[in-house]
Structure 1
Amino acid sequence: MAEKSSIFDMIGPVMIGPSSSHTAGVVRIARAAIRILGAVPTEAVVTFYNSFARTYEGHGSDRAIVAGLLGYLPDDVRIRTAFDHTAEAGLHYTFQSVGNASTMHPNTIKLNLLDGTTGRRVEVVGQSRGGGVIRIVEVDGFPADFSGALHTLIVDARDEPGSIAFIASVIARDDCNIATMFVSRKGKNDAARQFIEMDSPVKDLTLAYLRALGWVQHITYIPTLE
């Protein structure tokens, strides 16, 4: 007997197909990465792992990742012709594939990006979980865990006593409710990174205050991804 289906089984993200995990999710991973970089990159090395490594061309993940790096939304018709727009944007890209990374999620992408104007580089590892849902699981070698579905603050700071509580208290004074917080560090009293997801936006004045703190090295703010 065939299983019954409902309208809820067919609802997914508004997107350019053919697959939510191989296109919409891929676009969102790239969009998160360029928010972390702070610009459309001039150079990108894209590594597809496992299932993506075997299917990225046939399922359009190659076009989707380039579209996301250009800042396009998942439902932008230009995804289909994304390769045609890279020269005008000054984006040079390279694709690599690793088909047997057993420790990684089946749909994993690593992005190594360069902003040639500032010289800033970032490395972002993301997973496409299906239905357009993503997880960013690593940034510049620091383990991470955020989705882009909420407002996200990334704080690079020295690992000092009370720093986590202090950042949380500043955010609370801004009437922001913290949904999740993930903290990574390279070692005791060494470089640390906080990934904070919030239900509401952070005010510009609060971001300026955090950036002015002597022990804070860099602040990245990522509003909710579309």
Structure 2
Amino acid sequence: MAERSSIFDMIGPVMIGPSSSHTAGVVRIARTAIRVLGEKPVKAEITFYNSFARTYEGHGSDRAVIAGLLDFHTDDKRIKNAMDYAEERGLEYSFRSIGSAAVYHPNTVKLRLTGESSRTMDVIGESLGGGVINIREVDGFSSGFSASLHTMIIMAKDVKGSIAFIANILSNDDCNIATMTVSRKGKNDLACLVLEMDSGVREITLQYLEQLKWVKHVRYIPNIDQ
């Protein structure tokens, strides 16, 4: 199915920088990634692919990704000096570029993040234009979410009936599921469930899901622009 865009996507977001795809989109990918990590990042290994790899310095994608890792919004004037703020906050980072990777979207960036607790997480994001993004992978699992809706990511064991169980729990919160992506390493192995919802989830519901024996962890992203 072809991707659909609205007139607002074509206009683009309120932003700092020369390009909605190379700056605003990159900020949003990085802001989403730190929420997937679930804690403040202290180290980031950043790989730009294809078009990003050839233009990331000239279009400010390097500053944009660091700004996003510092949780700056797309219209934050500090984006231009993001490297200076990263140094002040003790964020270590490195850049790598791969100019030809046919398996990836032209505007793709991979973030390998290490948090304060030494937890690591890989996130691959695509900037689709107009500030719109797609989070393609989370720790090697297909994810495919935009972070523009209320999003929940559940890493859990591949337990029979688990998807129906979680859907029932969310129905009690009056949540309508817009999209669902399920990826697993293998039968009865670790699985990743990504749910995009039209409305939010109560904190008590997140806590309940987190304490289930077969759930490894839960990440909740209300809306990346909030």
- 1:37 counterpart residue number: 37
1:167 aligns with 2:169: no
Q: Which residue of 1 aligns with 2:3?
A: none
Q: Offset at 1:11?
A: 2.4
What is the CA-CA distance between 1:174 and the residue it aligns to? 0.4
Q: What are the Cα deviations for residues 40-74 of structure 1, in whole angstroms up to 9, with x where unaligned? A: 31110000000000000000000000000000000
- Residue equivalent to 2:148: 149
**Contact 1:40/1:71 (8 A) holds in 2:** no
Look up the match of 2:208.
209
- The residue aligned with 1:23 is 23
Task: Give the match for residue 193 of structure 1.
Answer: 192
CA distance in 1, matches of 2:84, 2:192: 37
Distance change in 2, residues 1:9/1:212 (3 Å): closer
Shift of 1:8: 7.1
Structure 2 unaligned blocks of 5 or more: 1-6
1:132 is aligned to: 131
Alpha-carbon contact 1:32-1:148 (below 8 Å) kept: yes
Q: Give the match's secondary structure for 1:175.
A: coil
CA RMSD of aligned residues (A): 1.3
Distance apart, 1:9 and its partner CA: 9.4
SS of equivalent residue, structure 1 residue 13: coil
Q: Measure how far apart 1:214 and its partner are.
A: 1.2
Larger Rg, first or second structure (1 or 2): 1
Q: Quick one: distance in 2 between partners of 1:217 and 1:125?
A: 21
TM-score normalised to structure 2 length = 0.94
Q: Hey, what's the Cα distance between the residues in 1 that align with 2:166 and 2:188?
A: 17
Q: Which residue in the other structure is 1:50 paired with?
A: 50
Indicate the SS of the match to 1:42: strand
What is the match of residue 4 of structure 2?
none
Distance 1:222 1:9 in 2: 20
Aligned partner letter, 2:156: A
The sequence identity of aligned pairs, in percent, is 63
Which amino acid is 2:58 matched to?
G
| Mapped pair 1:67 → 2:67 | yes
The corresponding residue for 1:3 is none
For the 8 Å contact 2:10–2:130, the answer to whether it is kept is no
Q: Which residue of 2 is the match for residue 184 of structure 1?
A: 183
CA contact (8 A) 1:134 1:147 kept: yes
Bigger mean CA deviation after superposition, 7-16 or 40-49: 7-16
Measured in 2, the distance between the counterparts of 1:220 and 1:120 equals 14
State how far apart, in whole Å, the 1-side matches of 2:150 and 2:90 are: 29
* Residues 9, 132 of structure 2: 8 Å contact kept: no
Q: Structure 1 pair 111/205, CA: closer, same or farther in 2 (3 Å)?
A: same
Give the distance between the partners of 2:145 and 2:10, measured in 1 at CA. 25
Question: Quick check: 1:183–1:193 contact (8 Å CA) kept in 2?
Answer: yes
- Partners of 2:144 and 2:175 lie apart in 1 by 19
CA distance in 1, matches of 2:68, 2:121: 16
Query: d(CA) in 1 for partners of 2:171 and 2:142?
Result: 24
Tell me the amino acid that sits aligned with residue 198 of structure 1: M
Task: State the alpha-carbon separation in 1 of the partners of residues 216 and 177 from structure 2.
Answer: 21
1:82 maps to amino acid:
A
Secondary structure at 1:195 match in 2: strand
Q: SS state of the match for residue 41, structure 2?
A: coil
Deviations 1:167-211 (A, max 9, x none): 011011101110000000000011111000011110001011111
| Unaligned residue ranges in structure 1 (runs of 5+) | 1-6
Whole-angstrom distance in 2 between the partners of 1:167 and 1:126: 26
